Chain A
Amino acid sequence: MNSSARAPLFRGGIPVLLVISAWEMAARFHLIPGGIFFPPFSTVVLELKQMLFSGLLLPNFISSLGRVAAGFAGGSVAGIFVGVCMGWSRRLHRWCHPLVSLLYPIPALGWLPVLMLWIGVNEMLPIAIIFICSFFPILYNTIAGIRQVPSELIDAARMLGASDRTVLRQVVIPLALPNIFTGLKLEAGMAWKVVIAAEMVAIPTGIGALMMQAENLVRVDIILVCLMLLSVMSLLFEKFFCFLEEKTTGGWR
């Protein structure tokens, strides 16, 4: 990495360091009332280390990660598949669009009570909620991406002898990728937020459940460790899709 590429990273790190320093000082010097609920950053880091070595964090983290991975992968694949079909076929779009428009506004967590009754309180519950949470936005972005491909490019491909399948596979889907990635990046973070919420409300394992237990024990440091982990994981997921997007579309965009 050259110095010019390092500069923005360094500049972006300064505000983070400033906030952490302010946090540490405010907690150490009791600048905020109710200091017991506001541990210093260094204490949170020590707690993180403690949780790692005691085996408290890892099983819960792996539970949440597995749920997010399964739900998000399922929701994304289904969203992209249905989105490609609806974007490509005007007839299918006319048929399905009203139904999708009716279901899309319902928040993912709104499904929780009914899913608890339908599926029961088990591993499938958070996976199903994350599936719903990911499916609709990715579906919308995919439809938009497919329909935004200039008709002249489709005509050009057809004039060159390409079948509908070839046009879709080699022209339309690659050109819709930027939109699809926008949906994936947005929903990658959202999946983590939803799994935490679901685990806090209904599931006895995972990061969300751990936060609820910590709240009962008034362990703010554990809650802050969980929040930091949530933030880092959302960021990592988003960056992963940024990397994939750059790899697949960076050369020609």
Chain B
Amino acid sequence: MPAIELSGISNGVLRNVSLSVRDGECLVLAGATGAGKTTLLNVIAGLVAYRGTVCFGDTAVDGLPPAQRKVGYLFQSFALFPHMRVRDNIAFGLQACGAEPARIRQRVDGLLQMLNIRHLETRYPKFLSGGEKQRVALARTLAPCPKILLLDEPFNSLDPRTADCLRLELKNLQRQLGLTAVYVTHDQQEAFEMGACIAVVDHGRIEQVGSPSEILFTPRTKAVSALFGSATLLKCDHIEALNFGLGKAWCGSLSLIVPCEGKPVKKIAVMPSGVQISKYPIETPAPNRFKGIIREIFKKPPVVTVAIQIAETRLTAELPEHIWYETGLGITDSVHVEIPLAGIRILTDVGPE
């Protein structure tokens, strides 16, 4: 039985959305800004009006106000109460539910320990960094032990390194605690990292629901293709297993080191945002370095997309505009390309990666 089941959800933004999330699964809602992802999250939380049915397990919760749905919601802006210290922020939900003081103390201590924020307990939110605020917000959300966790672009305002660390922590926590999670993002890389299942939302509709590989390699609609289809797809002719969960894949004229668990690989996707380019050769050792020629440049602020010819293969790289100008590269220039393992996805014969 799914943990969350939405049937025929409509309102000013959403149009007849039906969706189900399995117990303990993390579903990613991906889509462009304004697609209706946050509205869908708010429908599950009961924060906006809607037509249709929302069920948690086998119980319809449409008549229940947000306070009684027992759902944890992690807001994009953290939404920490500025007038409460970290400890009081975390304890708020437990106090609101009428928990006993001893249990509140024990639970808050446990969360402070688990999220490594014990040293922050007496601080007010204005004295916390973005990453610290995010940990506190997560602790506060987890405090009343929700079974369902809703996350609205929770790492959007953090620097990439902090966001990566927290994303990994969150994923581990979600698995450890067996939470059913719905995670909203507009970033395809983040969608692939977080979700075993991705639902692509566009103009208030669900365009496709599937595993990251299905979404990447077999997009069903133009909207999905526009959001996830910019990856370079390579047909894998042959793969040779190496040590450490890696394999060497031959894709036409290109041979790549890819993550591989010994299963036959059908296709390889190179994510444009994962491709690194430079005018000069990079000295440090790393796999997947090639030399190519820039064939096309598309400037679409804030990013620049570059088509690179490597032997007979055409690869797409995407980089922030300011970094592109720093490279000093132009059309027909020779370029050094690196494809890190994190920028590679594989489609195996037997199902999703």
Using a CB–CB cutoff of 8 Å, the interface residues on chain A facing chain B are 150, 152-153, 155-163, 166, 170-171, 174-175, 249, 251-253
When distances are taken between beta carbons in the complex, the residues of chain B under 8 Å from A155 are 45, 47, 66, 73, 75, 79
Contact pick for A158, options B65, B97, B141, CB 8 Å: B65
Q: When each residue 91-111 of chain B gets 1 if its CB lies under 8 Å from chain A and 0 otherwise, what string results?
A: 011001100000000000000
From residue 28 to 66 of chain B, which have CB atoms closer than 8 A to chain A? 45, 47, 65-66
Q: Residue of A at shortest CB range from B98?
A: A161
Q: Contacts A162-B92, A252-B126 given; indicate if A156 touches B83 (C-beta within 8 A).
A: no
Give 16 A-B pairs besides A156-B81, A158-B65, A161-B93 with Cβ atoms closer than 8 angstroms. A152-B75, A155-B45, A155-B47, A155-B75, A156-B79, A157-B92, A158-B66, A160-B144, A161-B68, A161-B96, A162-B92, A170-B92, A171-B81, A175-B81, A175-B82, A253-B126
A156 contacts across to B, CB distance below 8 A: 73, 75, 79, 81
Known: A155-B47, A170-B92, A251-B124. A161 touches B97 (CB 8 A): yes
Please name all residues of chain A whose beta carbon is closer than 8 Å to the beta carbon of B84 when the two chains form the complex: 252
12 A-B contacts (beta carbon < 8 Å): A152-B75, A152-B79, A153-B79, A156-B75, A157-B92, A159-B73, A160-B96, A161-B97, A162-B93, A162-B96, A170-B92, A252-B125
Provide the main secondary structure of the chain A interface.
helix
Does residue B67 face the partner (Cβ distance < 8 Å to A)?
yes
CB nearest neighbor in A for B68: A161
B96 & A157 in contact (Cβ 8 Å cutoff): yes
- B residues near A251, Cβ cutoff 8 Å: 124
- CB nearest neighbor in B for A159: B73
**Docked-complex contact B83 and A174, CB < 8 angstroms:** yes
| Distance between Cα atoms of A157 and B137 in the complex (Å) | 12
Q: Is B82's CB under 8 angstroms from A252's CB?
A: yes
- Taking CB atoms, residues of chain A closer than 8 Å to B68 are 161
Q: Are B66 and A153 in contact (CB under 8 A)?
A: no
- Contact assessment for A160 and B75 in the assembled complex, using a CB-CB cutoff below 8 Å: no
B141: chain A residues within 8 A (beta carbon): 160
Which A residues touch B71, using CB under 8 A? 159
Near A by CB (< 8 A), chain B positions 219-239 give none
CB A29 to nearest CB in B, in angstroms, measures 55
B266 at the interface (CB under 8 A from A): no
Is B140 within 8 A of A160, CB to CB? yes
- Would you call B77 an interface residue if the criterion is a C-beta within 8 Å of the partner chain's C-beta atoms? yes
> Are A159 and B72 touching (Cβ within 8 A)?
yes
B152 CB, nearest partner CB in chain A, Å = 10
A151 to chain B, nearest CB (A): 9
Query: How near does chain B come to A93, taking the closest CB pair, in angstroms?
Result: 20
A174 to chain B, nearest CB (A): 5
**Which residues of chain B come closer than 8 Å to A161, judged between CB atoms?**
67-68, 70, 93, 96-97, 144
Which residues B297-328 have CB closer than 8 A to chain A? Answer: none
| Minimal Cβ-Cβ distance residue in B for A160 | B93
Which residue of A152, A157, A160, A170 has the most chain B CB atoms within 10 A of its CB atom? Answer: A160
Complex CA gap A253/B72 in Å reads 27
A158–B66 alpha-carbon span in the complex (Å): 6
Looking across the interface, which residue of chain B has its beta carbon closest to that of A175? B83
